Amino acid sequence: MSNQPVDQSRRTWVTMACAAGGVGGVATAIPFVSTFQPSERARAAGAAVEADISALKPGEMMTVEWRGKPVWIMKRTPEQLAALKKIDPQLADPNSERKPAELTPEYCRNTHRSIKPELLVAVGICTHLGCSPSTKFQSGPQASLPDDWPGGFLCPCHGSTFDLAGRVFKNKPAPDNLEIPPHMYLSDSKLLIGEDKKA
């Protein structure tokens, strides 16, 4: 066994080299792991988007982005759902029969235009010229709306109106109902927009 003193400067260099190697390994791994997530380009091209709807209360709406478009997720109240059935005569396409392949998946061709009656999932872009309608959930007389307004959405650009199922009212510039994107529920609190494998 040698009794020579340990060269501390040499030990320091070895320690620093090991630390630098470890940092380099982590720096290399992070970009590799991040490749498992959809890129911004993939999201823009239509990669599915997951939404947590656990905090959404009746009468509230949240917005997520899918394919560069706003997608509204609204939790309707029992009163709002009941009102949908009463306004069919005022709507241009109450049964979502126009362009069904483009605008309304088969599993949403119903009065509430949704999988779960209380939850509306719709692309928030007017089918006229692509403006984004404003929320007008309160029923009754309001500026730019009829006195018997049931609650819904108003496009500020040219005055098209939609009910709380995204169905367009008659005699408005918008030719069609709002688009319902493909979607599915992963659980009671998780919604996947852009895929509907279970449907």
Q: Take residue 191 and report the two structure tokens written for it.
A: 């919604």
Helix (H, G, I), strand (E, B) or coil at 33: helix
Would you say 146 and 136 are in contact if contact means Cβ atoms under 8 Å apart?
no
Residue 86: which of 122, 139, 127 has the closest Cα?
139
DSSP code of residue 90 = G
Would you say 136 and 145 are in contact if contact means Cβ atoms under 8 Å apart?
yes
Q: Take residue 128 and report the two structure tokens written for it.
A: 């006229």
Show the 3-state SS of 100-115.
HHHHCCHHHCCCCCCC
Catalytic positions:
158
Distance CA 63, CA 69 (A): 10
